[in-house]
Structure 1
Amino acid sequence: MRDVTAGSEAILELLPLVFADPGEARARAEHVLRSGPSPLDGSVAHQVLGIWQRDFGDLRIALRHLRRARDLAARAESADREADVLATLGVALVHAGRTRQGLASFERGVARGSGHTRARVLYRRAYVWWVLGRHREALEDVRRALPVLRQAADDIWTARALTLRATVHLALGAVDRAVADFTAAERLWDTTGQEHDKADAVESRGLAAFRSGDIPAALRLLDEAEERYAKLGTPTYNLSIRRCEVLRAAGLAPEALAEADAAIAELDRIGGQSTRKAELLLAASWAARSAGDAHTAIARAAVAVRLFAAQRRTWWETHARLVLIEARVAAGRRSGRMVADAAAVAERLASFGSPAAPEASLLAGRIALALGWTADAERHLAVAARSRYGGPPPARVTGWAAQALRARAAGSRRGVLEACRRGLDVLDDHRMTLGASELRAHATAQGAELAALAQEVSLAQGSARRLLAWSERWRATVLSAPPTRPPDDPALLSGLTAYREIAARAEAARMEGRPVPALEREQRRLEREVRSRSRHMGGAAAGAGYRFDVDRLLDRLGDGRLVELVVVDGRVHVLLCGQGRVRRFAGGSLDRAVAEAGHVQAALRRLAHPGAEARLPLVEEAGRRLQEVLLAGAVPHLGSGPVVIVPPGALHQVPWALLPALRERVLSVSPSAGSWLRARETEPPPRGRPVLVRGPGLATGGAEVPELAGRYGTATVLEDDEARVPRVLAELDGAGLAHLAAHGTFRADSPLFSALRMADGPLIVHDFERLARSPYRIILSSCETARLASVGADELLGVVTALLPLGTAGVVASSAPVNDAAVVPLMLALHKGLDAGLSLAEALRDARAALPGDALHQATGWAFAAFGAA
């Protein structure tokens, strides 16, 4: 923590300096020791080095310096100097896991110190109480210290005490009190030069924003704090712990796990604080559990429990036990003992005032339900359900989930649906506060259980219409409203430009066979920067989301049919919408459908190259098997009009035109019925112009573009050096029709960096989101431009889904690798249909029929699909 004490005036400057400029303070302290100082000055110098090593280096070295500082203070016969060092030593001992020795050091420090010095000792002991999770003791010591520090006009230590009290309030869920203390502390920090303390203050405000439910602000403030720490050259273990918590809540658990594990490895390397390691292990276990990796969560949580127990940190140990039980349940373990353990954890967390208590009660109720212990389950779920009316969104969702489970156990279908509706409303409001489409998509994972419960009840009721409404309630919500348009942030724009330049250089180096590790490292760094800045954007006001209307959908369909595939408990259900009603047909196993779709994708990849003609009958047979699993008894009822397919995220790569019943139809695909309806009602822009873009490196050179330019006459044509991202974006904004012949790259690891290759580098999804209005119709003629990543509950991220909420009513793109030469005749035929006034789906059907009948051209036609409704 923070330290200052009595000693000669010059040497005393080193103590505040260690938190203003740690590196400079360390260098000066080492210089003092080399000069043969007096015991008093030597004590201060060793204390400074001990603080530096304790917070930024090797804890074993820190303890050696601090014990030497204590001995020198005793030799100098300065009681206040000795008391101050004893407090610093106490903090270090607790961080080393030697809790009993640390508290004993504080007892001696409080006894030796007086007045102002004793107040500083009490403040540091309050910090230790917070580390140990003993919040009431922490608040009591701060209460005793603050008046003395204020009376002494000690702004630095007063600000530290206020910051600590605010942090304790946050741990107890008292966000308003915490914000008031942070605000008061920040006013004091503005009067000092304590740069490390100021970084701490920014980090703390990030935590307060998170506890208030403002994830974009939390991420922005934590990133700002990291930049400040980087300038000071200090490690950021505590920041990593806090960011892990925010990332996990934002649905970015894999990132949180990676950050926690990296921080643990670095802490082990330098011999750092045992307390921080335990906290990082807890963060890692929470992240692993949220990421679905139960075994990693169990391993990390078990070690964290042991460390916290050895450190006598009961508050932390109890939270680690909660994660450990949750992970064991996720791994399939259930027993009566686990019900008792979860209930005991819930009771202890409630006694601490921890916001996690309802989560533990919900866990006990879940396990009891699985064992058939309905009375025990009701008792625990009733406690968890109390949180549904107050607190941050996750706590309220926990409460509504508990209420839904109570209603299901009681046999009240109506109660289940009401609880699910209320819980998803909470998440809807929360989701709309997020500006970045990535965060919106991931946030839906928190509502997956509620949506699934509502689907189960709707299915049991036998109402296909209700099952459709509930399936739409939490599907493709990221498309329900445009993402917040990125601000004209110079740093973000600069980052995008730098990313594009580095990516282009890396691609050129690969093509020339030159090594690219350094360029790839820089590219990844810039990706992180762009991703971070995009997450800082806030969203619209609560309640601004889109509401799905079944009657409006049925009215807009006309003589067409919409087929929504819904997965309940691993089985596919076919909801056929049309002729004023919704009908349900039973499909097959989702696992079987996913496996068949994977076989088809692999076969299409091979058919994209000459010489694979013998595989065509196998692909067609796979299409028949897929139809059997996915459409089943609905096929005879598809009618003769257009068909819209709405698949779940797991089946977004199915080449739907390959299915026999759909092969010769006007066919389009949509992520949800609601997004199709919005596309259907999207008006084309006035005076929308055609734009044709030809990127570099295509095998055919984008041979269709010159012919299309002649056909459209007034089209804007961008090629060669003119096909640069800024110019392309400027022309695409508000265009009526855009055709982009450019290499596509799909990034499964980071779908918003999926790209089209332009003359100056990649045009990525983040770039498209800067458009005021994307083209009304857009045709992407290259490979895999329709590939999407499934995230959250049932969300899809990629180029296509980035365009649909921005004003694009229809997209043609491919979900598989295609042969460039075979694409040219398909694209020319497609545009011929558009020129005749056909929709994208109609023109694509006719274009497929016009292709030669060989395997190469047939596979190319099947790889492309029309998305939306234009």
Structure 2
Amino acid sequence: MAGQVARAAADNADGHPARAARRLRPALARLAVYGDGQEASRVRARAVLELAKSDFEVRGDASAQLDLLAALADAGGQWPGLEPALAGLRGLLHLRAGRVDESLRELDLAVELIDRAEVIDACCALLNRGVLHLERGDLARARRDLAECARRSREAALPLLVFKASHNLGYLEYLAGRLPLSLERMAEAAGSDPGGLRAIALLDRARVLVEAGLVGVADETLAEAAAIFTADRLPHDLAETELARAECALLRADLDAAAVFASAARRRFARRGDEAWVLRAALLELQARAATLARRRSAAAATTGEPDPQRRGWVALARRCAGLEAACAESGRPQWAYVAHLLRIEAEVAAGQGPAPDARLRELETIPAGAPIGVRLHARRLRAELALGAGDRARASRQVRTGQRELALHRASFGSIDLRTASAVHGAALAELDLRIALDGGRAGAVFDAAERSRAVIRGTRRVNPPADPGTAALLAELRQLLEAGRELERRPAADLERQRARREALRLRQAIQARSWHEAGAAPADRPGRVGDVVAALGDRPGTVVVNVLEHRGRLVAVRVTDRGPTLHDLGPADPIREQTRRVHADLPVAANPYVPAPLRAAAAASLAGLMDRLDAEVRDVLAAPAEVVVVTGDWLGALPWSMLGSRAGLPTVVTPSARHWLTHAPAAGERGRLARAHLSSVAGPGLRHARLEAEQVAVRWPDSTLLTGADATCAQAAAMLGSPGVVHLAAHGRHESDNPLFSSVRLADGPLFAHELDQGAGAPELVLLSSCEVGRTTVRPGGEALGLTSVLLRIGVGCVVAAIAPLPDDDALRVMTTTHDLIRRGWSVPRALAQASSAQDSPIPIPLVCFGAPA
């Protein structure tokens, strides 16, 4: 019997409560006649304890299980460890039900009696009290309990408890705001887990990823955890997973999904009697409702100009928020109460209820210490809105900028580009408000500066001197070999089993590489946003150059055109038609450029493309008008608009840059122009392109100080080293943009693909990189507005200027345009001027899809 009860205890510990209950019920029936000695008493008590635990996990109803434990305590017995074991389990049941005060009282008792407890009960009491302290925000006490649990568990050879304590120490770092360290600690703990993949570890990891802004990865992780919890019949954990998925849906603005997940979680918690968790789920439901009402208000304002038609909805929401705020405070959940407090004020203001905005500002409570970044930014946004309502535009702007600084500090803690770009999702609403304040003021310079503040937050910082990671290097080498060996498999049907296995393994390796990058802490200070005054001053040294900052706000395109005389504001009209035309341009370009497509289809695509380009040009021609260089500052989907390919810009230098700060930093001053012609050139040819070797050789001979890599010498390591050193780099190679995972966009070299991911080095960078490759100028826009791809990564790591294609680039065109461009650069021409001249000189039925990104080197 003792063995069967021990196996049931192991099932519970492994997260299989239903299986444990199936073992325990027949065991308890037999134990009823097992005898009355100390061992019999211990085994019987252990069986009851484990059954109470498993029944609670499967069915809920903590009160029923506590009654069962009370009966066990009344019956007494000869087992000395009964009292601490009972106290520890009572504490766990209260903890799982969300009753923090009752849980602390029982767990304190269990630890007080720890000398009488069996080692596993002692370790569990410390573990659970540590988790409780995490919930209460008492990180110092949590660290002590979890570290002591880990120590005792190691000494007692209890690897599962070592894993749980170590994992929760990683979760502690998340609550302390050290997200990269948290992910690293969790990964280390997972590596020592004797049971393999744990759904609860996936849930906690996803919570950290949500705070970091990796919403898509977090949601995929949560879906994986939910499937395990469902199979193991763990409804409480499943409901917690649904709550986290509701948060993901809110961040990606999928409000219907957020409401569905939050409602499902609330009903699941309610069925189990988990009262505190019902409050948390209800709070997320109200957050989804508030976002829905706000979206409808914005839509009504944009289409009809009418005041908010949702007043009754706001009134009802305010009433529900007030009740929930009180309930959260009463249950000892001050942070939940604070969020309900913010929602209530927001709803009352929208409904026209309550005191004036200036009085509301005084009512707002201090932001709780340790509040998640989303809560802090929500509070800043609400304070700014109230200040606007009170007519204090300056105070509103201060609140917005304080929030942006908080987000910049949050993002500066991340080392990897992946996390730095993902966390921009938290600042989208604040950036929108900043821009609205500027546009309402009507000053072009203020609009320019607001757009640049938003971009500075979205782009974050470049990392400096990152540590070498042999583990990541090994994984990258393995992925490279797999993809290179599997090139033939890609020609097989999608249903081919070997091809599917290779794709699954490639996905696993990409995920492992990506996850390792999240462990790196940031060290660089936040970039200073570009300012319109700095741009005007710089243009005084560049006669005829125009900077045009283009952005989308509430469904319309807005441009700030800056000359050496100052800025002017322009409304370019609705965004949707231009967005659709841009999408269709990118659909037509590959067809029109593909020689293997039948001629009639190619001609139709070319005709369609010409019409689309004419319509796009008509929309933006006036704001781009300039006889000299035009610098288009833009991001998000607008970065995909083929600015330099428009008819009005044919033969004229055009630069597309992600921020005015990048242009200000890298555009050469008057005395430095032409310096690039004296730089060292590295020219590299990858395999499989008809003219790659010839192109690389012809480019190299044009530069007196050059290095040429072709054939087996053109390796990823050599190319990566060149891309981490000053000078000019020319790459003639197959390119691939990975829209699903843009940091794995690549160029193919002798030993396989060189990924954007492995260029995130930041120690040094060339002044100019020319990518004679298909589509590597493309990007994928993440939630929050940041665009990622091979070119954007190069600009992030400090490359001043990148020439890249936004569509397939025919080999013959690449050879002619690139060699001519290098000729002109060597003669002292700027890169955008040289590229414009070389492209316009080609007799091609479609525009050359090469674009100059960054700054005019």
Alignment TM-score, normalising by the size of structure 1: 0.88
Q: Tell me the residue number matched to 2:535.
A: 553
CA distance in 2 between counterparts of 1:626 and 1:689 reads 39
Q: Tell me the residue number matched to 1:533.
A: 516
Larger displacement relative to structure 2 (134-143 or 346-355):
346-355
Residue type at the aligned position of 2:8: G
Match of 1:102 among 54, 57, 65: 65
Give 1:837-852 correspondences, 5 Å limit: 837-852=828-843
Q: Tell me the residue number matched to 2:255.
A: 294
| 8 Å contact from structure 1 (residues 156, 188) kept in 2 | no
CA distance in 2 between counterparts of 1:428 and 1:494 reads 32
Instruction: State the SS of the aligned residue for 2:89.
Output: helix
| 8 Å contact from structure 1 (residues 690, 735) kept in 2 | no
| 8 Å contact from structure 1 (residues 46, 68) kept in 2 | no
Shift of 1:487: 2.1
Q: Tell me the residue number matched to 1:171.
A: 135
Give 1:327-476 correspondences, 5 Å limit: 327-332=288-293, 334-351=313-330, 352-373=332-353, 375=355, 385-387=365-367, 391-475=371-455
Asked whether 1:676 is paired with 2:658, we answer: no
Q: Tell me the residue number matched to 1:13.
A: none
Could you say if the C-alpha distance between residues 544 and 310 of structure 1 is closer, same or farther in structure 2, counting changes exceeding 3 Å?
A: same
Residue type at the aligned position of 2:538: R
CA distance in 2 between counterparts of 1:615 and 1:490 reads 47
Asked whether 1:583 is paired with 2:544, we answer: no
CA distance in 1 between counterparts of 2:620 and 2:342 reads 36
Match of 1:111 among 62, 74, 93: 74
Give 1:21-32 correspondences, 5 Å limit: none
Could you say if the C-alpha distance between residues 56 and 310 of structure 1 is closer, same or farther in structure 2, counting changes exceeding 3 Å?
A: same
Asked whether 1:325 is paired with 2:283, we answer: no
Instruction: State the SS of the aligned residue for 2:164.
Output: helix
Could you say if the C-alpha distance between residues 616 and 483 of structure 1 is closer, same or farther in structure 2, counting changes exceeding 3 Å?
A: same
| 8 Å contact from structure 1 (residues 436, 537) kept in 2 | yes
| 8 Å contact from structure 1 (residues 829, 850) kept in 2 | no
CA distance in 2 between counterparts of 1:417 and 1:57 reads 50
Could you say if the C-alpha distance between residues 371 and 660 of structure 1 is closer, same or farther in structure 2, counting changes exceeding 3 Å?
A: farther
| 8 Å contact from structure 1 (residues 384, 402) kept in 2 | no
Shift of 1:864: 3.2
Shift of 1:435: 0.6
Match of 1:664 among 651, 668, 672: 651
Instruction: State the SS of the aligned residue for 1:474.
Output: helix
| 8 Å contact from structure 1 (residues 574, 584) kept in 2 | yes
Shift of 1:524: 0.7
CA distance in 1 between counterparts of 2:333 and 2:828 reads 66
CA distance in 1 between counterparts of 2:668 and 2:207 reads 40
Larger displacement relative to structure 2 (649-658 or 543-552):
543-552
Residue type at the aligned position of 1:453: L
Instruction: State the SS of the aligned residue for 2:552.
Output: strand
Shift of 1:764: 0.4
CA deviations over 1:328-373 (Å, ceiling 9, x no partner):
4444584432222233223222332242332222233333344343
Q: Tell me the residue number matched to 2:110.
A: 145
Shift of 1:387: 1.1
| 8 Å contact from structure 1 (residues 574, 631) kept in 2 | no
Residue type at the aligned position of 2:561: L
CA distance in 2 between counterparts of 1:726 and 1:538 reads 24
Asked whether 1:198 is paired with 2:159, we answer: no
Match of 2:177 among 213, 230, 255: 213
Structure 2 stretches of 5 or more lacking a match?
A: 297-312
Instruction: State the SS of the aligned residue for 1:712.
Output: coil
| 8 Å contact from structure 1 (residues 173, 354) kept in 2 | no
CA distance in 2 between counterparts of 1:112 and 1:378 reads 63
Asked whether 1:264 is paired with 2:255, we answer: no
Give 1:226-305 correspondences, 5 Å limit: 226-229=190-193, 232-269=194-231, 271-305=232-266
Residue type at the aligned position of 1:278: A
CA distance in 2 between counterparts of 1:790 and 1:107 reads 57
Give 1:8-47 correspondences, 5 Å limit: 42=1, 44-47=2-5
- Percentage identity across paired residues of the two chains: 26
CA deviations over 1:33-73 (Å, ceiling 9, x no partner):
xxxxxxxxx1x222222223334465333213223343444
Shift of 1:142: 1.1
| 8 Å contact from structure 1 (residues 723, 758) kept in 2 | yes
CA distance in 1 between counterparts of 2:68 and 2:275 reads 20
Larger displacement relative to structure 2 (764-773 or 317-326):
764-773
CA deviations over 1:742-781 (Å, ceiling 9, x no partner):
1111111111011111121110012212363232211001
Larger displacement relative to structure 2 (436-445 or 381-390):
381-390
CA distance in 2 between counterparts of 1:228 and 1:377 reads 54
| 8 Å contact from structure 1 (residues 695, 719) kept in 2 | yes
Residue type at the aligned position of 1:132: A
Instruction: State the SS of the aligned residue for 2:84.
Output: helix
CA distance in 1 between counterparts of 2:679 and 2:128 reads 58
Match of 1:573 among 558, 565, 575: 558
CA RMSD of aligned residues (A): 2.6
CA distance in 1 between counterparts of 2:360 and 2:265 reads 26
CA distance in 2 between counterparts of 1:681 and 1:228 reads 53
| 8 Å contact from structure 2 (residues 452, 529) kept in 1 | no
Shift of 1:532: 0.3
| 8 Å contact from structure 1 (residues 83, 110) kept in 2 | no
Asked whether 1:607 is paired with 2:572, we answer: no
Shift of 1:89: 1.5
Could you say if the C-alpha distance between residues 370 and 310 of structure 1 is closer, same or farther in structure 2, counting changes exceeding 3 Å?
A: same
Instruction: State the SS of the aligned residue for 1:516.
Output: helix
Instruction: State the SS of the aligned residue for 1:507.
Output: coil
Instruction: State the SS of the aligned residue for 2:764.
Output: coil
Could you say if the C-alpha distance between residues 671 and 547 of structure 1 is closer, same or farther in structure 2, counting changes exceeding 3 Å?
A: closer
CA distance in 1 between counterparts of 2:626 and 2:246 reads 52
Instruction: State the SS of the aligned residue for 2:253.
Output: coil
Instruction: State the SS of the aligned residue for 1:652.
Output: helix
CA distance in 2 between counterparts of 1:573 and 1:197 reads 57
Give 1:1-80 correspondences, 5 Å limit: 42=1, 44-56=2-14, 58-75=16-33, 76-77=35-36, 78-80=40-42
Instruction: State the SS of the aligned residue for 1:665.
Output: coil
Give 1:747-786 correspondences, 5 Å limit: 747-770=738-761, 772-786=763-777
Instruction: State the SS of the aligned residue for 2:523.
Output: coil
Shift of 1:199: 0.8
CA deviations over 1:366-387 (Å, ceiling 9, x no partner):
3334434364998888666521
CA distance in 1 between counterparts of 2:142 and 2:649 reads 60
Larger displacement relative to structure 2 (660-669 or 378-387):
378-387
Larger displacement relative to structure 2 (682-691 or 108-117):
682-691
| 8 Å contact from structure 1 (residues 692, 705) kept in 2 | yes
Instruction: State the SS of the aligned residue for 1:94.
Output: helix
Match of 2:617 among 616, 627, 632: 627
CA deviations over 1:550-607 (Å, ceiling 9, x no partner):
3222222232111001222121111011214221111111212111111222222222
Match of 1:481 among 443, 457, 461: 461
Structure 1 stretches of 5 or more lacking a match?
A: 1-41
| 8 Å contact from structure 1 (residues 768, 774) kept in 2 | no
Asked whether 1:704 is paired with 2:695, we answer: yes
Shift of 1:272: 2.6
CA deviations over 1:470-507 (Å, ceiling 9, x no partner):
11112154655322554222211111111111111122
Residue type at the aligned position of 1:368: E
Residue type at the aligned position of 1:255: V
Residue type at the aligned position of 2:321: A
| 8 Å contact from structure 1 (residues 563, 575) kept in 2 | yes
Residue type at the aligned position of 2:643: W
Q: Tell me the residue number matched to 2:300.
A: none
Shift of 1:399: 2.3
Larger displacement relative to structure 2 (377-386 or 794-803):
377-386
